[in-house]
Amino acid sequence: MKTKPRLTDEQLIAIFRTMLMQRTLENRGFQLNRQGKIPFASASEGHEAVQAGAAMAFERGKDILVPYYRDLGLALGIGLTPYEVLLSLFARAADHSAGRQFPHHYASRRLGLHTISSIIAAQLPHAVGAAFALQYRGEAGRAVLTTFGDGATSEGEWHESVNFAAVHKLPIVFLCENNEWAISTPLARQMGQPDVYKRAEGYGLPGAAVDGMDPIACYEAVDEAMRRARSGGGPSLVEAKCYRFLSHTTDDDDRTYRSPDEVKARRKDDPVPCFERLLAEYGVLNAEQAEALKRSVLEETNDATDRAEAMVYPDAADLYEKVYAEGWEPWIV
């Protein structure tokens, strides 16, 4: 048995609850898609540990999160509510983007959660700019956490961003969620060697790899890097080795490019049941308590689903809102 980490029982249970909520909400997305209620869903099964762990290292009200589209657990872990997630899935007017954005492209000024596009690696320069702003204003004690997949590390913007952050010793943590796949492209077709963290040395910042199926290890690695960033120690690159259990999205079929046996073999590391077992071993959560937690997560999901579904779509006229500060081309009459 592993030694119990320095996290409190409360924190360990909070991490587990985030992981459960992530999985439950994603299942809900797929259900709604099959029922024809939403045209699209995607999931991050296999990423629960890295996201819930990293979220625990995020200081709410201080830090800034610049995520990518596979970060439901991170968003939940820093305070996004299931109701907000369902508003995004249903594309309702009350959603943060007023129904404009694809599902799982959240944003919340309140939480310090940046708005993102679907464009791979486009968020990285923004994260670096945000870190520069913190440093520029001398706001010690704050840092930026930005995330991306293994595939994103091939884009020029990834390299340009890490380099700039290293040059200026910015308060930022680059967290790679390496799930070994980029749609159908395996790691070996993405990069010449499989370790993203090793690139850190070339750019002049600390780099570390961590077991992305272990939420505590992920918490510890990200926490150490965030503390360094907040206290003026500069940027870090953390690589969490995880796995994508499902197809890329509802529009993809992973059987066309990888064997179900590969996926099945990796399922033994599924972070959700593994962490549940670990918490039982630690004596933090017994079977009964775990069941109660699952029930409460499902109830919250059901309630959020009903409330979000009952909300209205945006109006057609909303298409012309928020184009400019002055409105929609007010200079054209």
Partner 1 sequence: MAVVSSTNSTVMNNVEAVRATLYEAMKNDERTVILGEDVGARGNVFLITKDFIGEFGERRVIDTPIAEASIVGIAVGMAMEGLRPIAEIQFADFIYPSFNQIVGEAAKIRYRSNGEYTCPLVIRTPYGGGVRGALSHSVSIEALFYHVPGLKIVAPAFPDDVKGLLNAAIDDPDPVLFLEHKKTYRLIKGEVPDGHYTIPLGKANIRKAGTQLTVVSYGLYLHWALEAAERLAQEGLSVEVLDLRSIRPMDKTAILNSVEKTRKLLIVHEDNKFGGIGAEISAMVAEEALFSLDAPIRRLCGPDVPSMGYALPLEEEFMSSPAEMADAMRAMVKF
Distance CA 324, CA 318 (A): 13
Distance CA 240, CA 271 (A): 13
Q: Applying CB under 5 A, which part among 138-146, 172-180, 250-258, 287-295 lies near Mg ion?
A: 172-180
Residue pair 102/118 in contact by the 8 Å Cβ criterion: yes
Q: Which does residue 70 touch among partner 1, Mg ion, ligand TPP, none (CB within 5 to 8 A, set by kind)?
A: ligand TPP
Q: Which does residue 91 touch among partner 1, ligand TPP, Mg ion, none (CB within 5 to 8 A, set by kind)?
A: partner 1
List residues near partner 1 by CB under 8 A.
Answer: 39-40, 91-93, 97-103, 117-121, 151-152, 154-157, 182-185, 189-191, 251-252, 256-257, 313-320, 323, 328-329
Q: Which does residue 251 touch among partner 1, ligand TPP, Mg ion, none (CB within 5 to 8 A, set by kind)?
A: partner 1
* Closest approach of partner 1 to the CB of residue 319, in Å: 5
* Closest approach of ligand TPP to the CB of residue 207, in Å: 18
Q: Is 95 in the site for Mg ion (CB under 5 A)?
A: no
> Amino acid identity, residue 46?
G
Which residues from 126-155 bind Mg ion, rule CB under 5 A?
149-150
At a CB cut-off of 8 Å and minimum separation 6, what does 42 contact? 26, 29, 69, 70, 103, 104, 248, 249, 250
List residues near ligand TPP by CB under 6 A.
Answer: 70, 118-120, 149-152, 177, 179, 181-183, 244
Identify the three-state secondary structure at position 64.
strand
* Closest approach of partner 1 to the CB of residue 313, in Å: 5
Q: Is 43 in the site for Mg ion (CB under 5 A)?
A: no
Q: Applying CB under 5 A, which part among 73-81, 175-183, 228-236, 298-306 lies near Mg ion?
A: 175-183
Q: Which is nearer to partner 1, 124 or 221 (CB)?
A: 124
Q: Which is nearer to ligand TPP, 155 or 309 (CB)?
A: 155
Q: Applying CB under 5 A, which part among 53-61, 75-83, 171-179, 202-210 lies near Mg ion?
A: 171-179
How far, in Å, are 155, 178, 250, 315 from residue 175 at the CA level? 15, 9, 25, 38
Residue nearest to ligand TPP according to CB distances in the complex: 149
Handedness of CA 315, 111, 69, 297 (dihedral sign): negative
E strand or H helix that includes residue 21: helix 9-34
- Residue 70, CA atoms < 13 Å, CB-side half-sphere: 32
Catalytic center residues: 244, 248, 257
Parallel, antiparallel, or unpaired: how do β-strands 144-149 and 181-182 relate? Answer: unpaired
At a CB cut-off of 8 Å and minimum separation 6, what does 278 contact? 2
Tokens of residue 292, six digits: 């109660």
Q: Which does residue 136 touch among ligand TPP, partner 1, Mg ion, none (CB within 5 to 8 A, set by kind)?
A: none
Q: Which is nearer to ligand TPP, 12 or 41 (CB)?
A: 41
Q: Which is nearer to partner 1, 119 or 265 (CB)?
A: 119
At a CB cut-off of 8 Å and minimum separation 6, what does 236 contact? 173, 174, 200, 205, 206, 207, 208, 225, 228, 229
**Which positions lie near Mg ion, rule CB under 5 A?**
149-150, 179, 182
